Amino acid sequence: MGIPDRIETARQRLLSGQAWDDFCDTLKLAGRHIHAVNGPLSDLDRAEWYRFMSRVARSSMERLLENGEPTRPRLRDMVWRQSINIQTVDQDHLMCQFDEARDYRITGTRGTIPYFVLAVLTCPAPDVPGAEDWAAQGLAGLDRFDPSNLKTTGFLHSQTMHFAEDGSFELILSQDDPGAGHNWLKLDATTNCILIRLVWGDRTRETAPVMAIARMDEAPPEPVTPELVANGLAWTGQAVLGYAELVRNWWQGTQGNFSARPNRLDFSRAQYLSNGGVPDRHVAFGGWEKAPDEALVLEFTPPPCEYWNFQLCNIWQENLDTFEDGNGWISNARHAADTDGRVRVIIAEQDPGLPGNWINSYGHERGLWGFRLVQTEVTAPVTLWRLPLAALESKRLSALDPATSVLTGQFVD
């Protein structure tokens, strides 16, 4: 069946309601995927799973359906409180979906934030996804169509771009080189979207870049069509299913299996780049666990870099709710350090009052954590303790016996 026939099939599936039914069935399948997670799950873990499903559905619907119109490209931020893939609190993520590779122009102003990076991404996707049912294919359908499986095919960061004296800029996104004097990011035939990471140092003092995207052929906006909505519903449903499997796979599957290796941080280029990362940074991920009456203490000395952060997340890779209260993460711009530059992180249900940076585990006994070092060739070893909270409160820093510590922060690839 050729593309025109598949487009007509997608049209009819939407008009008959079949595309909507398949979308709903795919969401049901994604929600039930929690039963594929083996091992202990608390009531809090389970509650956050279903909230995570609602957040991914909301985010995917906005990005892939609401903002998936090819003649109305938009750069939109992630929805409020969405933190897919251990998302850095100090970064905003602008995205624009491409239905196929075509020429675009981004114009804007530099702003005063220290750094931003633009990356073009691809993922497995058929030409007309709205032409077929996906729920019945289950996880096997992700081999052909997985919006969560983003791979970076090119990137450009602000330090290498050209700006006018007033901070304005123009960037061309195209398959063909526009020539000397242009900021250019190469697209290819499989490009699905662009992701722009805006890295903040201090949100209270800095100004974000202002950016707008437009098609260079200046095609006028067109009304929505049945086939476009059918495609958008398929993209949205598969994204939710894809992220359901992604977080399970990181937690206890072949992509990470962090639940089996708790309380360590592994620097892995493959792990980070497996889902839309850019190779201008080193990122360590890991699983953590402790009892409610225990504490985890980490010490490290950050190397010189453009930006670093450490953050605590739940099993489903979401920042803990405490990030709204200024807790849950530290960065190069907001942390306490010893006089020798050593940073101490204490993860516990209550603040033991030690010198350092307390992160509230907020009722969680396990989850994921991340340690980012942006624009540096050097990483930092991490010394880690797991000990009773009462011992930390009574003995204070003397409870951190070097003989009982674990050294982590190693490269695994």
Q: Are 61 and 204 in a shared domain?
A: yes
Q: Are 148 and 24 in a shared domain?
A: yes
pLDDT value at residue 102: 87
Helices 43-60, 18-31: inter-axial angle, 10-degree rounding: 150
Q: Are 68 and 206 in a shared domain?
A: yes
DSSP summary character for residue 72: S
> How many angstroms separate the Cα of 373 from the Cα of each of 267, 310, 321, 409?
10, 9, 23, 12
Task: Label residue 167 exposed, middle or buried (CB < 10 Å: 0-12, 13-18, 19+).
Answer: middle
Q: Are 63 and 159 in a shared domain?
A: yes
Q: Are 193 and 269 in a shared domain?
A: no
Closest residue by Cα to residue 144 from 242, 231, 66? 242
Q: How many domains does the chain have?
A: 2
pLDDT value at residue 290: 98
Closest residue by Cα to residue 147 from 67, 60, 247? 60
Q: Are 112 and 178 in a shared domain?
A: yes
User: What are the residue ranges in the chain where pLDDT is below 50?
Assistant: none
pLDDT value at residue 278: 77
Q: Are 353 and 240 in a shared domain?
A: no
* Residue finishing a domain among 201, 225, 252: 252
Q: Are 66 and 206 in a shared domain?
A: yes
* Residue finishing a domain among 204, 228, 252: 252
Quickly list DSSP for 195-256. EEEEEPS-TTT----EEEEEETT-PPP----HHHHHHHHHHHHHHHHHHHHHHHHHHHSTT-
pLDDT value at residue 281: 84
* Residue finishing a domain among 252, 268, 287: 252
> How many angstroms separate the Cα of 34 from the Cα of each of 46, 50, 110?
8, 9, 43
Q: What angle do CA 314, 383, 343 make, to 5 degrees?
A: 80
Closest residue by Cα to residue 286 from 310, 306, 321, 322? 310
CATH number at residue 333: 2.60.120
Residue 84 domain boundaries:
3-252
Q: Are 247 and 360 in a shared domain?
A: no
Q: Are 291 and 182 in a shared domain?
A: no
Question: pTM for this structure?
Answer: 0.95
pLDDT value at residue 115: 87
Q: Which stretch of DSSP H or E encloses residue 25?
A: helix 18-31
Q: Are 209 and 358 in a shared domain?
A: no
CB 104 within 8 A of CB 215: yes
Q: Are 294 and 233 in a shared domain?
A: no
